[in-house]
């Protein structure tokens, strides 16, 4: 059954559309902004100590909205210090959006930007071929580890690139979110390929412990408004279904029994709360901080 469904990641245009729809219907970026406002200043308090330039590496920076929030916190913490911000991002479309955002944002004068159109493993291979390994003061991997084949090896590699007082910030869906339940219950009936894997902060915690890497974890509540998913023929709802199930055109191509089961479940308290006529799916996020 799963084989007849097509993974959303095989259609990049549809994926980007579904992701935009998810962002518009969730508190994902607001939740991250709250973290950047309340927790990040303490986390980055020492990353630039005694440094003439602060080097930041963004892995899977997307269209740059969250990256710029991080940069503004670093600027506030270390006024006037030059920042070298490099971005590893395989999507040309996302890079173009990021460049446009930078061009339209003020107060970025002390920041140098460089984009590398490649995946994290391509970056890793490129660095391994170099004689001298570049070290970084802050590395972030925000909602992107799902797309990495060997997560422990990737985290271990980027951990080895940390300079003195440097940190890594990883943001992933929380093990307490409804994503975990959805994947556990329906993952075997949804399209699987090697482009994306079901991983939550609980899995990452286990991997970090196995690697002996110390971390701190903060969980924040975020919700995704999935009300449109229950309105027949609603195009936004169709995009949200694709995002939830990581399936291309789920509404049109899913077997009716599978769709009916997921539809019923998503309205249950185990997955969502109902508030002011809306159905809110639990999209809680985990913020994992790793030290050098
Ligand atoms: C869900 S988006 C998150 C974007 C951004 N960090 C945010 O939170 O808004 C995931 C991003 O990771 C990028 N990506 C996918 N596979 C990747 C890989 N193997 N290495 C680096 N980035 C990757 C995608 O192109 C996309 O921009």
Residue (of 71, 198, 69, 92) closest to 145 by Cα position: 198
Phi, psi of 181 (to 5 degrees): -65, -40
Helix axes 120-128 and 151-159, enclosed angle (nearest 10): 50
CA distances from 134 to 98, 127, 129, 221, 288 (A): 23, 8, 12, 35, 23
Cβ-in-10-Å burial (0-12, 13-18, 19+) of 204 comes to buried
- Atom 10, ligand 1: residue with shortest CA distance: 144
Atom of ligand 1 nearest to the CA of 88: 21
Q: What is the pLDDT of residues 153-188, one digit of tens each?
A: 999 999 999 999 999 999 999 999 999 999 999 999
Cβ-Cβ contacts under 8 Å for 161 (sequence gap 6 or more): 57, 127, 133, 134, 135, 136, 139
- Position 4 scores a pLDDT of 79
What mean pLDDT value characterizes the chain?
95
Residues lining ligand 1, judged by CB closer than 6 Å? 19, 59-62, 65-66, 88-91, 94, 119-120, 142-144, 147-148
Atom of ligand 1 nearest to the CA of 61: 6
Q: CA-to-CA distance for 122 and 119, rounded, in angstroms?
A: 5
Distance 120 CA to ligand 1 centre (A): 10
Residue 282's domain spans which residues? 2-291
Atom of ligand 1 nearest to the CA of 120: 20
Give the pLDDT band of residue 3 (cuts 50, 70, 90): low
Distance 117 CA to ligand 1 centre (A): 11
The answer to whether 211 touches 155, Cβ cutoff 8 Å, is yes
Is the pLDDT reported for residue 197 higher than 70? yes
Is the pLDDT reported for residue 268 higher than 50? yes
Give the pLDDT band of residue 192 (cuts 50, 70, 90): confident
Could you give the count of Cα atoms lying within 13 Å of 281 in the half-sphere of its Cβ?
Answer: 28
- Atom 1, ligand 1: residue with shortest CA distance: 143
Domain count, the chain: 1
H/E element, 20 = helix 12-24
For residue 155, the SS3 value is helix
Assign residue 284 the CATH number of its domain. Answer: 3.40.50.150
């Amino acid at each position: 059954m799963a084989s007849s469904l097509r993974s959303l990641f095989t259609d990049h245009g549809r994926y980007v559309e579904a992701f935009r729809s998810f962002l518009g219907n969730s508190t994902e970026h607001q939740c991250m902004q709250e973290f950047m406002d309340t927790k990040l200043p303490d986390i980055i308090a020492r990353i630039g100590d005694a440094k003439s330039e602060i080097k930041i590496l963004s892995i899977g920076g997307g269209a740059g909205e969250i990256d710029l929030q991080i940069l503004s916190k670093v600027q506030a913490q270390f006024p006037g210090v030059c920042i070298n911000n490099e971005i590893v991002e395989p999507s040309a479309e996302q890079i173009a959006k990021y460049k446009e955002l930078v061009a339209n944002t003020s107060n970025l004068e002390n920041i140098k930007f460089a984009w590398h159109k490649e995946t994290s493993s391509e970056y890793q291979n490129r660095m391994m071929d170099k004689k001298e390994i570049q070290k970084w003061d802050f590395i972030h991997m925000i909602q992107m580890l799902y797309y990495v084949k060997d997560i422990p090896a990737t985290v271990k590699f980027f951990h080895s690139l940390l300079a003195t007082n440097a940190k890594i910030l990883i943001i992933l869906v929380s093990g307490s979110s409804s994503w975990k339940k959805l994947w556990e219950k329906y993952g075997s009936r949804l399209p699987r390929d090697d482009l994306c894997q079901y991983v939550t902060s609980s899995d990452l915690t286990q991997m970090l412990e196995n690697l002996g890497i110390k971390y701190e974890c903060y969980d924040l509540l975020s919700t995704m408004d999935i009300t449109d998913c229950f309105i027949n023929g609603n195009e936004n709802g169709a995009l949200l279904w694709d995002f939830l199930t990581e399936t291309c055109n789920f509404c049109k191509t899913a077997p009716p029994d599978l769709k009916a089961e997921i539809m019923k479940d998503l309205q249950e308290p185990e997955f969502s709360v109902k508030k002011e006529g809306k159905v809110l799916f639990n999209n809680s996020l985990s913020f994992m901080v790793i030290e050098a």
